[in-house]
Structure 1
Amino acid sequence: MTLRRNFLMGSMIAAAGAATLRTAAAETVALPTADTSNLATDDGYWAAVRDLYDVDRSIANLENGYWGIMARPVLEVYLENTQRVNRQNSLYHRSAFGTDFENVRTRVAAAVGALPEEVALTRGATEALQVLITGYNKLQPGDAVLYCDLDYDSMQYAMAMLKDRRGVEVKTFSIPEPVTREAVLETYKEVLDQTPKAKLLLLTHLSHRTGLVMPTREITDMARERGVDTIVDAAHSWGQISFNATDLGADFVGFNLHKWIGAPVGMGFFYIKKGRLADIDIHMGDQDWPADDIRSRIHTGTLNFAAALSVPAALDLHEKIGAASKNTRLTYLRNQWVGPVRAMETYEILTPDDQSMHAGITSFRVKSKGTKDDNNALVAKLRDEFKVLTVCRAGVAAGQCIRVSPALYTTEAEVARLVEALAVISGA
């Protein structure tokens, strides 16, 4: 009886503790009313947003494409959740985490405009997309799969793996420079028309290499007309661009939560449109969930509980600021450096100024200098001599480049520092 009483008491304590786990952050955030007529340059509003982030200002960090740091309200939720999960340990996990985790999944689904049964949480977009690519089971020997030079490395690896896994032909192609919307659409049309055995296309909504935003819906529609399924990589777009999962026109999409949504590192998810689940294999022989449950398509094992529990806080703040507002500000910061640098003879900007084809990320290179050594040397010079952090990106067919990705906490002065540095380096 004593043992039973102690067990029941422990369960009640765990349940009570679970109820106090913090998932919200936005209610603690007070932002001024934004001037919607001049949102991009509303200094008071964006200063209040910047104040939500504790960052190292000793360097102008224009390399925010790796992951997005947590705003202070989200970090506070994450730290509290870490402490509570650590204190309650397996008692919490055995008694309450399953329900809490399911609530997070439901919250994510609502945020992306999907049904809960269409969403499964992962440890990032890479894991999400690897599951979709390697698990896609409609391929037959002799079929073809397609991807381009601007797609993410890990996803290219997974597509290439299908040659041995499924016995298919892997066809690659490049996006031409200079880039235009018409050229992109024509490139995909030609590749699809020239590959009648194609059955699967990898398509990156917003390229991590150059920041190019693909006309995704037009391309997925084009592929579907030819009997080709598309897996969309939305790792960088969701949070920079305002859209829902269904807007992309694809039945399979991988998302990140720790980049432009600002959740703790190690969180993402995938979307499988209702009615398409059977076309993705059960993951690693999972038997925890029924075959008709999307959660059987990812078997991660033990994850960072506190990170998952803090996702709603990140979504709350993201929605409080608004995806469209974030896009407006990030695009403005992008244009602050792209315009002046485009006018310098030394450099070439790889992303067009067509507003439908970029968000906050854009890349550049020194003309006729597209090697790894060239670009790494310039990245080092910007960092060490001018205190501006950028990153070299490989894989672009026309040559390596340097990616610039401002964040909501970036100031106009930090962007101007990049412009001044490139002017000095070019001798302009």
Structure 2
Amino acid sequence: MALTRGATEALQILIAGYNRLRRADVVLYADLDYDSAQYAMAMLKARRGVTVKSFAIPEPTTRASVLDTYRKVLDETPTARLLLLTHLSHRTGLVLPVRDIAAMARSRGVDVILDAAHSWGQLPLDIADLDVDFAGFNLHKWIGAPVGLGFLYIRKGRLADIDVHMGDQDWSAHDIRSRIHTGTLNFAAALTVPAALDLHEAIGVPAKRARLTHLRNYWVERVAHIPSVHILTPNDPLMHAGISSFRIKDKTGQKDTAAIVARLRDEFKVLTVRRGGLAAGECIRVCPAIYTTEPELDRLVAALSAVAAS
């Protein structure tokens, strides 16, 4: 592991530095993957001369449909070499069955770079159990460290498959610190990491997940009766944590979703986030924190009822 300025930087380094690609290879990513990671994957066409292929996660989403989608894409792309995989989507909150997808990829000679920006801290996470060789993590989202901290992970024995970063000579090529060179790290922020981890462990992942799942289910169950509100994230407890997204029927364009987000903020004092990039249309993300209260979610429910009726 090596400290970075966040999961975005970690993923960009892993993707850009992955050096096992040849011109006949294909790299794969889905519509739910993070924008900046998609950009880095697309850049590989110019940098490595590969073909870049994207695909959509089907809606409505089930575990079976997700596995079928990845299986189909991998079977249809025998020259695939690299797959970007997101554990917990920043767009919809969907949790993917990473271990099963990674096993599919590995059996076909495809390496996985895992985006764990949102999953670590919301979900029980053992990188060895997920069986991926490369991953990017955040420390500033669900762990509680200051903004601008994350880390990259490279499994022992795979370091040589990621290029030394920007010709770094401060560290040996056999040292993971040579894979990230950004100048002076915000060491004051980095010094807070042990305290953030202590608090995270004191609360415990089971308690965090239970709290976030309760808050998610609290508002989702109370808007489920509204016909025009479509919840994108499945109710399967293995496929969500605290984040979920919704659409209002016939209001899936950027202008519509931006207007809904603005109204929720300005009229009802509810903060949500517009998310684009999905094949089926834009959505609006709801992301409770562990300290969010039920009365605050009641305000969200009332706001969605009013927005859906207008």
Q: Same fold (TM over 0.5)?
A: yes
Report the equivalent of 2:248: 366
| Correspondence 1:381 to 2:289 | no
| Correspondence 1:265 to 2:164 | no
Pick from 251, 266, 281: which aligns with 1:399? 281
Pick from 89, 94, 99: which aligns with 1:207? 89
Pick from 59, 69, 76: which aligns with 1:177? 59
| Correspondence 1:122 to 2:4 | yes
CA contact (8 A) 1:245 1:271 kept: no
Report the equivalent of 1:134: 16
> 1:223 corresponds to which letter in structure 2?
A
Matches within 5 A, 1:306-325: 306-325=188-207
CA distance in 2, matches of 1:324, 1:277: 32
> 2:176 corresponds to which letter in structure 1?
I
> Which protein is richer in helix relative to its size?
1
Deviation at 1:303, TM superposition (A): 1.7
Report the equivalent of 2:165: 283
CA distance in 1, matches of 2:31, 2:290: 29
Matches within 5 A, 1:48-59: none
CA contact (8 A) 1:140 1:168 kept: yes
Give a deviation string over 1:401-426, Cα, whole Å, max 9, x none. Answer: 00000001100100111001111222
Report the equivalent of 2:71: 189
CA distance in 1, matches of 2:162, 2:249: 44
Unpaired segments ≥5 residues, structure 2: none
Give a deviation string over 1:335-369, Cα, whole Å, max 9, x none. Answer: 00111212210110000000000000000010122
> 2:238 corresponds to which letter in structure 1?
S
> 2:53 corresponds to which letter in structure 1?
K
CA contact (8 A) 1:144 1:169 kept: yes
Aligned-CA RMSD value: 0.9
CA distance in 2, matches of 1:427, 1:394: 23
Give a deviation string over 1:193-217, Cα, whole Å, max 9, x none. Answer: 0000000000000000000000100
Give a deviation string over 1:12-67, Cα, whole Å, max 9, x none. Answer: xxxxxxxxxxxxxxxxxxxxxxxxxxxxxxxxxxxxxxxxxxxxxxxxxxxxxxxx
CA distance in 1, matches of 2:304, 2:250: 16
CA contact (8 A) 2:248 2:308 kept: no
For residue 238 of structure 2, give the secondary structure of its aligned residue in structure 1.
helix
CA contact (8 A) 2:260 2:307 kept: no
Report the equivalent of 1:37: none
| Correspondence 1:218 to 2:120 | no
CA contact (8 A) 1:283 1:298 kept: yes
Give a deviation string over 1:128-149, Cα, whole Å, max 9, x none. Answer: 0101000000000110000000
Report the equivalent of 2:29: 147
For residue 363 of structure 1, give the secondary structure of its aligned residue in structure 2.
strand
**Structure with greater Cα Rg:** 1
Unpaired segments ≥5 residues, structure 1: 1-118
CA distance in 1, matches of 2:162, 2:170: 17
CA distance in 1, matches of 2:232, 2:119: 18
For residue 376 of structure 1, give the secondary structure of its aligned residue in structure 2.
helix
> 2:35 corresponds to which letter in structure 1?
D
CA distance in 1, matches of 2:188, 2:156: 29
Report the equivalent of 1:305: 187
CA distance in 2, matches of 1:343, 1:219: 34
Report the equivalent of 2:301: 419
Give a deviation string over 1:137-189, Cα, whole Å, max 9, x none. Answer: 00001100000000000000000000011110000000010011100000000
Deviation at 1:371, TM superposition (A): 0.3
Higher relative contact order (CA 8 A, sep 6+): 1
For residue 171 of structure 1, give the secondary structure of its aligned residue in structure 2.
strand
CA distance in 1, matches of 2:299, 2:185: 40
For residue 274 of structure 2, give the secondary structure of its aligned residue in structure 1.
strand
CA contact (8 A) 2:42 2:52 kept: yes
The alignment-based identity, stated in percent, is: 70
Report the equivalent of 1:232: 114
Matches within 5 A, 1:72-151: 119-151=1-33
Report the equivalent of 2:227: 345
